[in-house]
Chains A and B, each alone.
Chain A
């Protein structure tokens, strides 16, 4: 059986763009800044496309909540080969927070009857990382967060996901369908569109579903319903670092290495000498008392 896969993507302001902030707001309107597909969403999209390719008869629908200037995300999705792309927007959506966005996506996922919903782990602009979790809650779906790989289990309608949990561990989880998966940034390498599909994506017409098409209640969406409001934007304060004096006893290239790396703290370890037997005994004791030795 083919799966209906929903990939939720968004366009974010290009990190290379010169963004100026003054008085707690952007100097240039966001609409005038160049946008790109959110990096984590590119990985989510790739995970969705790979799942579709592995299950014949499956389809990927890309959706994006945002005004026309964020359409670039959907154009990229079309270039990479999604089967359909729909923009979700209505003038009444302006000012929606994460929860509002999740409500809009919930209506789209229900309308599309999705079996698997893919989201990026977080967007580069707001970086809330909340929409995926809120969407799973609203849809009543099990959710696996920040996965690095996804595949359909060989024995049936389950997804096997792998997640990196730090310290070199990977956890393999099994989730029944339908499910919502958020994909970690950099989890995979997005496919490179052909010139043909790239050209096609530029002229493709993208339908737009609004309040009426999605059957949403106006009191749930938009500025008035937002539980989270951005009060001001500001640049992070600079990270003050003292300049290090690397001393005169090193060659010049080593001195600049020291300077740019913030200097090296010398440590008080006295030299331990002895026979290999004594040395290894000291070492094993140190490792044991630091609880480094694994059972």
Chain B
């Protein structure tokens, strides 16, 4: 018996229940282009792509990627909520995540109440810069700097 290949599902197909990292988007992501951006981030983190009901209802993401009361209940190691306001029916599906990062441009978004890292900013401005740092030429250097540097706060 031999192992032929070990492959990782792409973010859009990875099983949400077994994913260690989930990058989720909501209405604030704005459309399929925004989700393509989140897909790149998820790929960089070895995670899965998910969505809130607003994004699924808008037809940007297939229904089987939905997290929340009428979707899946997940508990990954890290949940990154991008442009998700944090309506109760979404929150009950992801509240058991070990850590939660929320990125939202609305200061009063309820998602910030359950976030370990609450980032007040526009998804379309923050994520491209994150991707640039992670995917850019000086990637290794960035990694070294962030891992050896001071605590992030």
Interface size on A, as a range, is 35 or more
| B63 proximal to A (CB < 8 A) | no
The interface residues of chain A lying within 8 Å CB-to-CB of B4 are 160, 172-174
Tell me whether B116 and A268 are in contact (CB under 8 A): yes
Contact of A276 among B45, B129, B151 (CB under 8 A): B129
Tell me whether A269 and B152 are in contact (CB under 8 A): no
Tell me whether A272 and B95 are in contact (CB under 8 A): no
Tell me whether B119 and A264 are in contact (CB under 8 A): no
Q: How far is the CA of A184 from the CA of B17 in the complex (A)?
A: 16
What is the predominant secondary structure among interface residues of chain B facing chain A? mixed
Contact of B19 among A168, A172, A174 (CB under 8 A): A168
The interface residues of chain A lying within 8 Å CB-to-CB of B44 are 293-294
Chain B min CB distance to A171 (Å): 5
Question: Closest A-chain residue to B102, C-beta based?
Answer: A269
Question: Closest B-chain residue to A289, C-beta based?
Answer: B152
Tell me whether B120 and A271 are in contact (CB under 8 A): yes
Question: Closest B-chain residue to A274, C-beta based?
Answer: B121
| A283 proximal to B (CB < 8 A) | yes
* With known contacts A173-B3, A282-B119, A283-B117, A168–B126 Cβ distance under 8 A: no
Chain A min CB distance to B18 (Å): 5
A-B contact pairs, 25 of them (CB 8 A): A164-B18, A166-B18, A168-B48, A170-B8, A174-B3, A250-B88, A258-B92, A266-B114, A269-B102, A270-B118, A271-B112, A271-B120, A276-B122, A276-B125, A279-B126, A279-B129, A280-B129, A282-B117, A284-B146, A286-B101, A288-B143, A289-B146, A289-B151, A292-B21, A294-B46
* A contact residues vs B (CB 8 Å cutoff): 142, 144, 160, 164-176, 179, 250, 254, 257-258, 261, 264-274, 276-277, 279-290, 292-294
* B contact residues vs A (CB 8 Å cutoff): 1-9, 14-15, 18-21, 44-48, 69, 78, 88-89, 91-92, 95, 99-103, 107, 112-122, 125-127, 129-130, 132-134, 142-143, 146-147, 149, 151-153
